[in-house]
Amino acid sequence: MVQATRKFSRLRSLGIVTAGAAALYMGITAYNNQDNFYRSFVMPVARILPAETSHNLAVWACKHRLYPASDYTDDLNLHCSFFGRLISNPIGIAAGFDKNAEAIMGLKDLGFGFIEVGSVTPLAQSGNPKPRVFRLVDDRAIINRYGFNSEGHDVVLKRLRDLRQREDFNAIVGVNLGRNRDTMTPIGDYVKGVRTFGPVADYLVINVSSPNTKGLREMQSKKELTELLEAVNAARGKLKVNPNVPILLKLSPDLERRELIDIISVINNKKCRVDGLIVSNTTLSRDNINDISLANEAGGLSGEPLRERSTKMIAQVYSLTKGSIPIIGVGGVASGNDAFEKIEAGASFVQIYTALVYEGPEVVERIKSDLSMRLSELGLANVGRAVGSNYSKYLP
Ligand SMILES: Cc1cc2nc3c(=O)[nH]c(=O)nc-3n(C[C@H](O)[C@H](O)[C@H](O)COP(=O)(O)O)c2cc1C
């Protein structure tokens, strides 16, 4: 009996020592060789967990600033003007990662030039039943049908207000606006979003392109979009604080050319003006998918299989607008080269999401340093010089 207790105690000590050593090793590695640490340890472990659990964990880790802050200094050639504000690089985190504005400071630590939170709905809602996020690992892709799970305007507003009070707050934050699933006043939901977040946001996004809320993408049609954009413009005009807050419209990559032409004719109308376009949201298409076991899951597809589709759409929008409106390019960016393609197709700024899931947080640094090097090799003093420089290459 005594022997058994001693054996158990020795085993327990051994366990503690081993776990301690492993933790120490992980800690040291995290600081010395982040790239390897995330790719070979954290990301594979995170992938064992259900996709939504690892998403929540990643948000939690950012919220508590557990990821070491990036010590990469953005090269001068990445500096750019973002709707009148200077940012040190054009790479942002796309909507849907930090839906409730919990992790802004942690995301800033990773080196993002700007951060988009949301989509936020006026009232809190839980979204679609689980499971609702799926990793298509071989395709470096995700299918999600979250359906706007949101803590709602009040909670998110309080977080943003509190954040802006902080002395160390120095991020550019956009708020992506959604609408409640069962709303009787879809346009009213966006108007509420403008009134609520206009005073605390660096930009607002009208998201009528998520595929997981019934009837949402129809709001991109000419008639509905005209009504919507007139209403949000009027609401912005009445803001006492920040009445010039930039409003961006986020588009679906599944729009046809004639629908794009309609949208551009709408935003050319002064009453429906938007300051920028985000191209693009997730797609319903399942082209270029190898993981056929998950391809039939309903939802929006993001990541590598979306990359070319969204780049082509950026080029189309750039060509149709003659470069007159800034575009944020998003869809399948995982490298400096992918970011450069979005930029030469016409994007002034680039966002990422899915690459963060597969590559880990150090992907931000990698994209920035490779992009900066590419600009130098091409003799371009500034990223702005590359915008739209080769858009015709991506036109059909
Ligand atoms: C899990 C998940 C949730 C998302 N949620 C939103 C959202 O709430 N609002 C939105 O506008 N876009 C949302 N998106 C779309 C992304 O913002 C982005 O447009 C899309 O994923 C393409 O970029 P990526 O290929 O780099 O991921 C979501 C994407 C993913 C993967």
Domain boundaries, the chain: 72-394
- The CA-atom distances, in angstroms, between 212 and each of 65, 202, 280, 283, 381 are 31, 26, 15, 11, 42
Other CB atoms within a 10 A radius of the CB of residue 268 amount to: 12
The mean pLDDT value for 141-169 works out to 96
Answer CATH for 72-394 from 3.30.1360.200, 3.20.20.70, 3.30.70.20, 3.40.50.10490: 3.20.20.70
Residue nearest to atom 4 of ligand 1 (CA): 96
Q: Which band of pLDDT confidence, cut at 50, 70 and 90, is reported for residue 216?
A: confident
Ligand 1: distance of its center to the CA of 116 in Å?
A: 11
The mean pLDDT value for 17-35 works out to 47
Q: Which band of pLDDT confidence, cut at 50, 70 and 90, is reported for residue 395?
A: very high
Give catalytic status of residue 210 as yes or no. yes
Ligand 1: distance of its center to the CA of 319 in Å?
A: 25
Q: Distance (Å, rounded) from C-alpha 208 to C-alpha 320? A: 20
In ligand 1, the atom with minimum distance to the C-alpha of 304 is: 25
The mean pLDDT value for 49-60 works out to 93
Question: Over the stretch 372-391, which tens digit does the pLDDT of each residue have?
Answer: 999 999 999 999 999 999 99
Q: Residue 167: CB partners within 8 Å, gap ≥ 6?
A: none
Q: Are 347 and 340 in contact (CB under 8 A)?
A: no
Question: Over the stretch 74-120, which tens digit does the pLDDT of each residue have?
Answer: 999 999 999 999 999 999 999 999 999 999 999 999 999 999 999 99
Question: Over the stretch 329-338, which tens digit does the pLDDT of each residue have?
Answer: 999 999 999 9
In ligand 1, the atom with minimum distance to the C-alpha of 141 is: 25
Q: Are 329 and 279 in contact (CB under 8 A)?
A: yes
- Average pLDDT value over all residues in the chain: 91
Residue nearest to atom 10 of ligand 1 (CA): 95
In ligand 1, the atom with minimum distance to the C-alpha of 310 is: 22
The residue to which tokens 């300051």 are assigned: 275
The residue to which tokens 């991109």 are assigned: 220
Residue nearest to atom 19 of ligand 1 (CA): 281
Pocket of ligand 1 (CB under 6 A): 94-96, 99, 118-119, 133, 142, 144, 146, 176, 207, 210, 250, 281-282, 302-303, 306, 330-333, 352-355
Report the pLDDT value the prediction gives residue 185, as an integer from 0 to 100.
94
- The yes-or-no verdict on residue 46 having pLDDT over 70 is yes
Of the listed 54, 119, 210, 310, which one is catalytic? 210
